[in-house]
Amino acid sequence: MKQWRNWAGNVRCEPERWWEPEGEADVAELLREAQRQGRKVRIVGSGHSFTPLGEAEEWLVRLPRMTGLVQLDESARTVTVRAGTTLRELGGRLLERGWAMENLGDIDRQTIGGAVGTGTHGTGSGFGSLSTQVTAIRAVLGNGRIAEVSEGDTGEKQEMFKALQVSFGTIGIMTELTLRIVPAERMRLASFRSTLEETLERLEEYRSGNRHFEFFWFPYSGGTQVKTINPTDAPVSKRGRWKEWSAYAVENGLFWGMSEACRIAPRLSAGISRLSARFVPVSDEVGRGPRLFVTPRHVKFMEMEYSVPAAAMRPVLLEMKRLLERRRYSVHFPIECRYVKGDDMWLSPAYGRDSAYIALHMYKGMPYEPYFRDMEQILLAYDGRPHWGKWHSRTAAQLAGMYPKWKDAARIREAADPRGVLMNRYVARLISPTAR
Ligand SMILES: Cc1cc2nc3c(=O)[nH]c(=O)nc-3n(C[C@H](O)[C@H](O)[C@H](O)COP(=O)(O)OP(=O)(O)OC[C@H]3O[C@@H](n4cnc5c(N)ncnc54)[C@H](O)[C@@H]3O)c2cc1C
């Protein structure tokens, strides 16, 4: 049987049936058929989630035939796009016409349906996650009915909108999304070396003084890489082929080689982390559109990421530093630190609070659980909520207490998918306190 696997390769399944619908009517028909036959269905995007969200035990749905722009409305500053479109394709199409998404994460390989489904985010204290850019959604619910909801709705439709925005394929299959867009400005990306001490000292200044600010802290070194992105009038930089290739080779080829060395001899990890901190790229580049936000990620890893209240960034990192020094985990990947504006989407990790997002990575093939589990305890002590697409150990009973609107989301989900068609064992453990 044909196998599906996620990007990291840690989730694999052999669905009994693969569906690639051509349009909304096909999606509705397949969901009704699943109800009739009592089958379970999972919708997947590009498979870039680290958790078994996409593990289809029976039927798998992908949307490679439901891609492309439906409408770009310049006066409303919105774009309507089919849910299977990748962020990369969307970014390219928008840029051709002088528009851009207001923010992006590290990569643009995800589909818009998948990215929105887990609350994928970039950085910038004035910007919510990508799901907050959504102004309207068309979806086929688990019961086969069509829902068309938008941010201006009231009553039941508004509830459906708030529940659907971050719902990881548990309420319905989104077919079309309308997103807010902005004119594509010229932006300057600055990357420089700093120390953890100085970065933490200047957190507020960096956070409020830049449109987008993030930093990477290299474990066992006092070093950080600080990255900022801001609008500029400066001309677009010419990126020579050689410069582009060498940046790619260092970030992927060289880092892959060092990662393999750590996998074979884990005791090298701390030294390699310190070495990486010394060779942080120092650069200043002007560009337009998504190019500045995203980086090619060919070195595979596992990741855990939590959101905590924004003010907790500093104390969490200081506790992590102490624990790293005590336990000496074999890890050489940096810890990525970003800010996201609070929102009102019911199951968004940034619900009701401006958030700091702290992400830990481990090279593929190296043991990640002891490191992630210990660090997770620190994040939980600061009211952490896990990213839905990344590793975490939480299940429904614990997650329910993190989300004020948990019960409302469950009510909407049960009405939209009363037979639990859009379910797998992992998702059941996430949302149902009685599932095992
Ligand atoms: C290298 C790498 C870098 C990453 N960088 C970031 C980052 O910077 N910021 C960040 O927040 N995350 C990041 N992620 C995580 C990633 O953005 C999320 O896991 C995202 O959900 C993946 O999108 P996808 O298209 O691959 O969807 P999948 O992983 O295939 O699916 C994600 C969820 O969305 C649901 N879904 C997919 N399509 C639909 C649809 N049409 N309707 C309803 N539900 C749907 C699925 O059922 C599933 O529950 C990264 C992941 C990787 C591997």
Average pLDDT of 351-357? Answer: 98
Distance 233 CA to ligand 1 centre (A): 34
Supply the mean pLDDT for the chain: 95
Write the pLDDT tens digit of every residue in 299-346: 999 999 999 999 999 999 999 999 999 999 999 999 999 999 999 999
Split at pLDDT 50, 70, 90, the class of 135 is: very high
Measured CA to CA, the distance from residue 390 to residue 54 in angstroms comes to: 12
Report the C-alpha gap between 162 and 150 in whole angstroms.
9
Other beta carbons within 10 angstroms of residue 419's beta carbon come to: 14
Instruction: Pick from 11, 59, 118 the residue to mutate for probing ligand 1's pocket: most ligand atoms within 8 Å of its CB.
Output: 118
Distance of alpha carbon 175 from alpha carbon 146, whole angstroms: 10
Q: Which of 115, 35, 43, 97 is nearest to 421 (CA)?
A: 35
Q: Does 82 have pLDDT greater than 70?
A: yes
Question: Ligand 1 centroid vs 33 CA: distance in angstroms?
Answer: 26
Q: What ligand 1 atom has the least distance to the C-alpha of 389? A: 19
Supply the pLDDT for residue 253: 83
pLDDT in tens, 369-386: 999 999 999 999 999 999
In testing the pocket of ligand 1, which one of 107, 141, 166 has its CB within 8 Å of the most ligand atoms?
Answer: 107
Instruction: State the pLDDT at residue 153.
Output: 98
Rounded distance, CA 22 to CA 4, Å?
20
As a whole-number percent, the residues of the chain with pLDDT over 90 amount to: 91
Q: Give me ligand 1 centre to Cα 86, in Å.
A: 11
Condensed to tens digits (0 to 9), the pLDDT of residues 40-78 reads: 999 999 999 999 999 999 999 999 999 999 999 999 999
> Does position 110 have pLDDT exceeding 60, yes or no?
yes
By alpha-carbon position, which residue is closest to atom 51 of ligand 1?
48
Residue 436 has pLDDT above 60, yes or no: no
**What is the rounded CA–CA span in Å between residue 142 and residue 187?**
42
What is the share, in percent, of the chain residues with pLDDT greater than 70? 97
Residue, of 239 and 25, whose pLDDT is higher: 25
Q: Is the pLDDT of residue 291 over 90?
A: no
- Answer whether 213's CB lies under 8 Å from 262's CB: no
The residue type at 73: D
* Mean pLDDT on 97-109: 95
User: Mutual orientation of helices 155-165 and 406-416 as an angle, nearest 10°?
Assistant: 100
- 241 has a pLDDT exceeding 70: no
pLDDT at position 161? 98
Q: Quote the ligand 1 centre to 388 CA distance (angstroms).
A: 9
Alpha-helical regions (H) of 224-297: 241-248, 255-264, 269-278
Residues with CB under 6 A from ligand 1: 7, 42-49, 53-54, 63, 83, 105-107, 110-111, 113-115, 117-118, 120-121, 168-169, 173-174, 297, 387, 389
Quick one: which atom of ligand 1 is closest to the CA of 130? 11
| Predicted ipTM of the assembly | 0.99
Q: Is 67 exposed, middle or buried (0-12, 13-18, 19+ CB in 10 A)?
A: middle
Task: Please return the burial class of 154, using the count of CB atoms within 10 Å of its CB with bins 0-12, 13-18 and 19+.
Answer: exposed
Q: Which residue has the higher pLDDT, 2 or 240?
A: 2
Q: What CA–CA distances, in Å, run from 60 to 40, 189, 277?
A: 9, 39, 42
- Residue whose CA is closest, atom 10 of ligand 1? 120
User: What is the sign of the dihedral through the CA atoms of 143, 146, 148 and 154?
Assistant: negative
Ligand 1 atom nearest to CA at 83: 41
pLDDT band at 20 (very low <50, low <70, confident <90, very high): very high
194 alpha carbon – ligand 1 mean position (Å): 31
Neighbours of 30 (CB within 10 A): 21
Q: What is the mean pLDDT of residues 416-436?
A: 90
For ligand 1, atom 37, name the residue with the nearest CA. Answer: 114
- Which numbered atom of ligand 1 lies nearest the CA of 106? 8
DSSP percent split of the chain into helix, strand, coil, nearest 5: 35, 25, 40
Q: Of the ranges 31-45, 163-177, 289-303, 350-364, which one carries the lowest mean pLDDT score?
A: 289-303
What's the rounded Cα separation, in Å, for the pair 28 and 356?
38
The phi, psi pair for 380, rounded to 5°, reads -65, -35
Determine which residue's CA is closest to atom 7 belonging to ligand 1. 105
pLDDT digit string (tens) for 154-195?
Answer: 999 999 999 999 999 999 999 999 999 999 999 999 999 999
Has this prediction a pTM greater than 0.90? yes
**Residue 214 contacts residue 221 (beta carbons within 8 Å):** no
- 195 C-alpha to ligand 1 centroid (Å): 32
Amino acid 118: pLDDT: 98
C-beta of residue 136 within 8 angstroms of C-beta of residue 149: yes
Residue 225 has pLDDT above 60, yes or no: yes
Amino acid at 68: G
**Structure confidence by residue, pLDDT tens digits, 144-159:** 999 999 999 999 999 9
Domain annotation for the chain: domains and CATH numbers: 69-184 (3.30.465.10), 186-288+299-386 (3.40.462.10)
Confidence of residue 246 (pLDDT cuts 50, 70, 90): low
Token couple for 22: 């051509």
243 has pLDDT over 70: no
Whose CA is closest to 313, among 430, 202, 194, 179? 202
Torsion, CA 90, CA 91, CA 94, CA 98, rounded to 10? 180
Cα 121 to ligand 1 centre (Å): 10
Q: What atom in ligand 1 is closest to the CA of residue 139?
A: 42
Question: Which residue intervals of 307-403 are DSSP H helices?
Answer: 313-327, 369-381, 396-400
Return the ligand 1 atom nearest residue 112 CA: 25
Confidence at residue 281, expressed as pLDDT on a 0 to 100 scale? 86
CA 29 to chain centre: 30
Span 388-411, average pLDDT: 97
| Contacts of residue 77, Cβ cutoff 8 Å, sequence gap at least 6 | 180, 181, 182
**CA Rg value for the chain:** 21
Q: Whose CA is nearest to atom 53 of ligand 1?
A: 48
Query: Which residue, chain included where needed, has tokens 């559109």?
Result: 289
| Of 6-10, 114-118, 228-232, 290-294, the least confident | 290-294
What are the tokens at 353? 């609070």
Backbone angles phi, psi at 360, to 5 degrees: -110, 140
User: How far, in whole angstroms, is CA 435 from its chain's centroid?
Assistant: 26
Assign 235 to helix, strand or coil.
Answer: coil
